[in-house]
Amino acid sequence: MSSKNPRRAAFDILLRIEKEKSFADILIDHELSKDIIKGADRGLLTELVYGVLRRQGTLDYIISQFSKQRPEKLELFVRLLLRLGIYQCFFLDRVPVSAAVNETVNLAKELAPRASGFINAVLRNADRGRDTIAYPDRAERPAEYLAARYSHPAWLAQQWCEQLGLEAAEELAAAMSEPPPLTVRVNTLRITREELIQRLAGEGVSCNATSWSPDGIRLNQSGQITRLPSFRDGLFTVQDESSQLAPLFLAPGKGERVLDACAAPGGKTTQIAQLMQDSGEIYACDVNNKKLRLIKETCDRLGINSVRTFTMDATAPSNAIKETTFHRILVDAPCSGLGVIRRNPEGKWSKSGDDLLQLARTQVSILENLCRYLEPKGTILYATCSTSIQENEYVVDSFLAQHPEFVVEDLRPLFPEFAPLFTERGFFRSWPHRDGMDGFFSARLKRK
């Protein structure tokens, strides 16, 4: 493999994602860490991988308009090469169509020589016929239209239409196909937000304060931020704005004992520590022991000492905390990740609507298990990065039906400054198209 060619490297990464269900960010970081791909080609590699994954549904729809064989019937190598070529032709302005076609055909001659003529014909016909592409009727088949036009699974597009109505669902579908913002959280134990904005400006990073999170900064450029001196000095950590709000709603107090379940990689854990001024006790657990290392590394870099980590399956009792009770518990539940599919676009193609019910059962069992460790009058914050009602309102209602000793706390009177982000039931729910941050949900439950 010639990794110096960003298109070949992108193909290899996309192939591994298809075959192994690997994560795009890990594979891209691994490829770039070899330092073989240089300069602008590094950005092209990242753009190709994420672009093809984000637009995969639309790319396949376009291919189906100009190929006698449906995309799912094509050999995997051919399908991936066509996706790469169509993406460059239709969505990359800086790559001339002729170059996109020629580079893809050259790659085909290397990887799928018998199909190179077919690939050449489909790409050229698609370019010539781009104005003739007919999408499903928006009014009569709205979910199919959104799926094809904005590249999402049809079942998910249908769910959004039912939740939001067609107009807002289309705005959401469009937003979910675009690259996400890059947001960081200030380490307030070491620096203020205003001071960090000035520090970042001095390091050549254009940025501005977030609208909702008091400790968030949105960076207006990407690049390897882990190489910034301010990152190495532990002045910030990467965390989306919506994720930064959950610990605020948990509202931990100085000196309290807090359990952060499903804590890796530790963004909310360290934010809880900041809110508690690194006092009290924070127990951070995760079912994956290897992921606990990420929490420890982040704590060390940020200079946080109040966190202790341990391995725990949140659905079952643990000897590690058998005699322990907590003032507050954060349940950042494992979920479908439907609210962050613009960050992890490979995820939307490996899920189905049937997965949500199974996830909901797991989420309820986590709440059922962890509530036993909560002190009287204690608080649980249930949170997910999912847009689905099945994983959010349904889970809360299922738990409450079995636990009359708990009530939902309406977030609206508790946090009036965030009023536009709350639902009619007092839950927190953010939408990328409306709020400019990831899709997130939080519900605050109190033991009577």
Whether 1 shows a pLDDT value over 50: the answer reads: no
CA 27 to chain centre: 16
Predicted TM-score (pTM) of this structure? 0.93
Which has the closest alpha carbon to 386: 426, 336, 436? 336
pLDDT of residue 4: 73
Ranking 219-228, 257-266, 355-364, 426-435 by mean pLDDT, the lowest is: 219-228
Contact 51, 18 (CB under 8 A): no
- Span 125-142, mean pLDDT? 96
* Residue 221: pLDDT over 80: no
Helix, strand or coil for residue 139? Answer: coil
Mean pLDDT throughout 35-61? 94
Instruction: Determine what percent of the chain is predicted with pLDDT higher than 70.
Output: 99
When pLDDT is averaged across residues 347-357 and rounded to a whole number, the result is 92
Average pLDDT, the chain: 95
Enter the DSSP assignment of 68: S
**Residue 344 has what pLDDT?**
94
- According to DSSP, the β-strands at 281-286 and 307-311 are parallel
| Range 421-445 average pLDDT | 97
| Active-site residue, from 89, 335, 371, 385 | 385
CB atoms within 10 A of CB 234: 19
pLDDT of residue 266: 93
Identify whether 207 is a catalytic site residue: no
State residue 222's pLDDT score: 65
Q: Which amino acid is at 412?
A: R
- Give me the pLDDT at residue 2, please: 42
Q: For residue 204, is it left (φ>0), alpha (ψ between -120 and 50) or beta? A: left
Coil, strand, or helix at residue 259? strand
Least confident of 59-73, 221-235, 283-297, 371-385: 221-235
- Long-range contacts, 284-289 (Cβ 8 Å, 24+): 284/260, 284/308, 284/309, 284/310, 285/259, 285/260, 285/261, 285/309, 285/310, 285/311, 285/312, 285/314, 285/318, 285/320, 286/262, 286/311, 286/312, 287/262, 287/311, 287/312, 287/313, 287/314, 288/264
- DSSP class of residue 209 equals E
Distance, CA of 301 to CA of 99 (rounded, Å)? 45
Stretch 165-189: mean pLDDT: 97
Angle at 55 between CA 101 and CA 211, to 5 degrees: 130
- Tell me, what amino acid is at 281? E
Residue with the two structure tokens 């309290």: 256
DSSP code, position 436: S
pLDDT at 39: 87
For residue 442, the model assigns a pLDDT of 98
Short-list 136, 123, 195, CA closest to 166:
136
Q: What are phi and psi of 218, to 5 degrees?
A: -100, 125
Each residue's pLDDT tens digit, 397-424: 999 999 999 999 999 999 999 999 999 9
pLDDT tens for residues 141-154?
A: 999 999 999 999 99
Residue 132 has what pLDDT? 95
pLDDT score of 56: 97
- Look at residue 3 and tell me whether its pLDDT is greater than 70: no
How does pLDDT run across 249-307, given as a tens digit for each residue? Answer: 999 999 999 999 999 999 999 999 999 999 999 999 999 888 999 999 999 999 999 99
Give the whole-angstrom CA distance, residue 222 versus residue 218: 10
Helix, strand, coil % in the chain, rounded to nearest 5: 55, 15, 30
